[in-house]
């Protein structure tokens, strides 16, 4: 075998603490190494060209590059050797940057360690064999999980691109948090007016299948061929018959049902349609409050329904969909702010969340767009906004900034002045974060044109003053003085957290999530839409706090990724998967039980029971390899012999 070794300087990143020329010189003394150099930047175009030239000139049949983590550039160099006519798996990479030069300053020790790692790679390469990828078909359908604005955008863009879309929404209507908003910053245009048409497009698009009141139950398969089980929760209304006329909601006698869409600022009926522009505009029965379902007598809605759509005996239904790609757009929820006892811990009716305030301002809200105090229905004159409630607060486990609260608080202050011209708004803030286009100008407008009093500081205590108002004690840190405000209404800009059930969904999708339940992108800068699971993409706040423009942009970006994936008719499978030596297999079945992907199935060979790897399902994790008592399963490109060759190289002395 003829091996070429390239010890990259990576500018001074490696050469600063590793003697690259010396490592190359040592490498020349090893068996089969016929060529070893130390280029400045191996990944750059001249560096790659030099590898190709060396392969031709020295008739190399294997290449080792010692440089950075294979995470980024292994695919780069595999393409390079492939261009020069080698098999892409006749390439090995030694990580002498993250594993050596960046973590130690001792030149001599680093150089020795680098040489050992390169020796490892050379030995591995001497035992490598060419591998070829197999091709498989792609199911050109996409599943979008979550029907907020990010999911809607992803679904519409995919559907426009000709890809059939399955959109799964947990609530009774799509629209997500944006549908609850009154107006949007920084243009103060009506949220329903700009989101409504998109929601209608979803309902009418021939390429979109919408499951509302549904959740993803199980995901199996792999990129190009996922099988998804979706649980359609019982709505107790046959949506094929329901016309959304609303007659049932008028007659339902159970009128004290908390109104989830209105953030519990009002009550609704047990059978309800979330809001007038709901998509799908279908009635849903809340089984906890329905008299027929809880007490067994009522049945008013069944009598009144002109199409006979009410089905009290409805059960959950599981549907199975085959898709080639998945977009997760599960959004966010508000954190439980009642942990803040100094703000009343939820006991004062006139201390509300900003999302509740949106519903109070919205014309489709419980008050028809009139801002009133929840306690007595009077119009508030002094309104205090408190920012960063459950954001940037390590003491409640929420150290991150929720991103958009500064902006919507400014918007709410502006709208408050529009609704109640003789009102005065106060905003307690720590920092104003307004880095978007026209954002800072918008917050300035709240102060300069709308007279909002911005107070740099925190609120320490809110308590009723006994005359129906709230005393707000706080600080103005710019003055260095404690301040006190009598308020009629306090609006808390409550921080966000990952949507309820997000970690469980991540487990089903086999994607990673951070400490706070937000889904992890593949690369924080360069792959913000991809996940580490091929074929699964992210859109919206499920990945991290972002406002509507950013969520829409990421929805479109996810759609572009899906369309790009589906532009190919066949995908190549990774040949680094498990393979069964049928002669050695004793069919003990241990691998069957340990495989997390269900990639091993029983088979028969000359009348004997054996196992077989389903090549497209195997992810190459290697669990079966280490479990097999016979050594009958070998992970290609990491076989026992290849690993032993590395160990032998390392343990020579």
Partner 1 sequence: MNDHIDLNRLRDPSFIAAVEAQSGQNVSTCYQCGNCTAGCPAGFAYDMPVSQIMRGVQLGLRDSVLHSRSIWMCLSCSTCSQRCPNNIDVAAVMETLRHMARKAGYVTVPKMEKFWLSFLNTVRLFGRSHEIGTMALYMMRSLRVFTDVDLAPTAIAKGKLGLLPHIPPGGAKPVARIFQRYKERARREGVRP
Does 338 participate in binding partner 1 (rule CB under 8 A)? Answer: no
In the bound complex, what is the minimum distance in angstroms from residue 337's beta carbon to partner 1? 13
Looking at 324-442, which runs of residues are DSSP E strands?
A: 325-328, 332-334, 351-353, 382-389, 424-429
Does 342 participate in binding partner 1 (rule CB under 8 A)? Answer: yes
The terminus-to-terminus CA distance of the chain in angstroms comes to: 25
Does 32 participate in binding partner 1 (rule CB under 8 A)? Answer: no
Residue of the chain from 12, 477, 532, 648 that contacts partner 1 (CB under 8 A): 477
Q: Which is nearer to partner 1, 334 or 557 (CB)?
A: 334
Does 637 participate in binding partner 1 (rule CB under 8 A)? Answer: no
Q: How many CA atoms lie within 13 A of 550 on its CB side?
A: 17
In order of 221, 222, 614, the CA distances from 598 in angstroms are 9, 11, 9
Does 430 participate in binding partner 1 (rule CB under 8 A)? Answer: yes
37-45, 456-464, 582-590, 591-599 -> range binding partner 1 (CB under 8 A) = 456-464
Between 362 and 381, how does the x/- string for binding to partner 1 read (CB under 8 A)?
Answer: --------------------
In the bound complex, what is the minimum distance in angstroms from residue 452's beta carbon to partner 1? 19
636-640 long-range CB contacts below 8 Å, 24 or more apart?
Answer: 636/131, 636/575, 636/576, 636/577, 636/578, 636/579, 637/89, 637/128, 637/131, 637/575, 637/576, 638/576, 639/127
46-54, 272-280, 370-378, 387-395 -> range binding partner 1 (CB under 8 A) = 387-395
Residue of the chain from 52, 215, 238, 393 that contacts partner 1 (CB under 8 A): 393
Residues binding partner 1: number (CB under 8 A): 21
- List all residues 6 or more positions away from 25 whose beta carbon is below 8 Å from its beta carbon: 36
In order of 107, 609, 613, 624, the CA distances from 604 in angstroms are 57, 5, 13, 19
HEC string for 522-571: CECCCECCECCCCCEEECHHHHCCCCHHHHHHHHHHHHHHHHHHHCCCEE
Residue of the chain from 296, 466, 480, 629 that contacts partner 1 (CB under 8 A): 480
H runs (alpha helix) in 28-165: 45-57, 70-83, 107-126, 149-160
Does 395 participate in binding partner 1 (rule CB under 8 A)? Answer: yes
Would you give the DSSP letter of residue 237? B
User: What's the CA gap between 343 and 334, in Å, rounded?
Assistant: 16
Q: Which is nearer to partner 1, 12 or 482 (CB)?
A: 482
Does 336 participate in binding partner 1 (rule CB under 8 A)? Answer: no
Does 457 participate in binding partner 1 (rule CB under 8 A)? Answer: yes
116-124, 229-237, 479-487, 614-622 -> range binding partner 1 (CB under 8 A) = 479-487
In the bound complex, what is the minimum distance in angstroms from residue 409's beta carbon to partner 1? 16
In the bound complex, what is the minimum distance in angstroms from residue 472's beta carbon to partner 1? 10
Residue of the chain from 388, 571, 595, 633 that contacts partner 1 (CB under 8 A): 388
**Joined tokens for residue 498:** 């990952």
Does 486 participate in binding partner 1 (rule CB under 8 A)? Answer: no
User: What's the CA gap between 651 and 584, in Å, rounded?
Assistant: 29
435-443, 452-460, 624-632, 639-647 -> range binding partner 1 (CB under 8 A) = 452-460
Name the site residues for partner 1 (rule: CB under 8 A): 342, 388, 392-396, 430, 456-461, 473-475, 477, 480-482
């Amino acid at each position: 075998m003829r091996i070429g070794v390239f010890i990259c300087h990576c500018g001074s990143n490696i050469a600063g603490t590793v003697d690259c020329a010396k490592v190359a010189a040592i490498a020349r003394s090893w068996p089969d190494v016929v060529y070893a150099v130390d280029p400045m930047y191996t990944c750059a175009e001249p560096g790659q060209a030099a590898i190709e030239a060396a392969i031709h000139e020295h008739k190399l049949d294997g290449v080792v590059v010692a440089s950075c983590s294979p995470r980024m550039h292994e695919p780069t160099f595999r393409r390079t050797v492939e261009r020069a006519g080698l098999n892409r798996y006749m390439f090995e990479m030694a990580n002498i940057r993250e594993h050596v030069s960046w973590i130690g300053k001792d030149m001599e020790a680093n150089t020795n360690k680098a040489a050992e790692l390169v020796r490892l790679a050379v030995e591995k390469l001497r035992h490598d064999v060419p591998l070829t990828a197999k091709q498989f078909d792609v199911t050109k359908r996409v599943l979008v999980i979550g029907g907020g604005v990010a999911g809607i955008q992803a679904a519409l863009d995919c559907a426009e691109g000709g890809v059939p879309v399955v959109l799964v929404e947990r609530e009774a209507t799509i629209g997500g948090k944006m549908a609850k908003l009154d107006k949007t910053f920084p243009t103060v245009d009506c949220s329903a007016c700009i989101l409504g048409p998109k929601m209608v497009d979803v309902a009418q698009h021939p390429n979109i299948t919408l499951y509302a009141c549904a959740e993803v139950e199980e995901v199996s398969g792999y990129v190009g061929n996922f099988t998804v089980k979706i649980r359609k929760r019982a709505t107790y209304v046959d949506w094929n018959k329901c016309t959304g006329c609303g007659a049932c909601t008028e007659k339902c006698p159970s009128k004290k049902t908390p109104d989830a869409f209105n953030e519990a600022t009002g009550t609704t009926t047990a059978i309800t349609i979330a809001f007038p522009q709901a998509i799908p505009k279908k009635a849903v029965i809340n089984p906890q409050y329905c008299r027929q379902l809880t007490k067994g007598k009522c049945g008013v809605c069944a009598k009144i329904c002109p199409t006979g759509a009410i089905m009290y005996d409805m059960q959950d239904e599981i549907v199975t969909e085959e898709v080639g790609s998945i977009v997760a757009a599960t959004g966010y929820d508000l954190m439980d702010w009642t942990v803040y006892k100094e703000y009343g811990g939820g006991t004062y009716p006139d201390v509300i969340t900003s999302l509740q305030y949106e519903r109070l301002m919205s014309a489709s809200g419980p008050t028809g767009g009139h801002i009133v105090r929840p306690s007595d229905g009077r119009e508030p004159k002094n309104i205090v906004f408190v920012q960063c409630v459950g954001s940037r607060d390590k003491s409640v486990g929420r150290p991150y900034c929720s991103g958009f609260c500064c902006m919507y608080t400014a918007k709410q202050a502006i709208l408050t002045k529009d609704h109640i011209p003789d009102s005065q708004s106060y905003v307690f803030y720590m920092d104003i974060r307004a880095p978007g286009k026209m954002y800072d100008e918008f917050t300035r407008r709240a102060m300069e044109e709308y007279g909002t009093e911005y107070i740099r500081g925190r609120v320490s205590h809110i308590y009723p003053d006994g005359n129906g108002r709230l005393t707000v004690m706080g600080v103005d840190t710019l003055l260095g003085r404690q301040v006190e405000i009598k308020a009629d209404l306090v609006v808390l800009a409550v921080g966000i957290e990952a949507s309820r059930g997000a970690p469980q969904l991540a487990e089903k999708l086999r994607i990673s999530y951070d400490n706070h339940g937000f889904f992890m992108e593949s690369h924080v800068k360069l792959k913000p839409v991809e996940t580490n699971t091929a074929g699964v993409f992210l859109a919206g706040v499920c990945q991290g706090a972002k406002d509507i423009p950013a969520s829409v942009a990421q929805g479109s970006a996810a759609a572009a990724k899906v369309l790009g994936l589906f532009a190919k008719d066949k995908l190549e499978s990774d040949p680094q998967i498990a393979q069964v030596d049928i002669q050695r297999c004793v069919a003990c079945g241990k691998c069957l039980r340990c495989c997390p992907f269900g990639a091993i199935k029983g088979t028969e060979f000359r009348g004997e029971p054996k196992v077989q790897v389903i090549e497209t399902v195997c992810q190459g994790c290697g669990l079966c390899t280490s479990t097999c008592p016979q050594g009958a399963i070998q992970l290609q490109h990491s076989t026992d012999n290849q690993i032993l060759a590395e160990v032998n190289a390392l343990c020579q002395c």
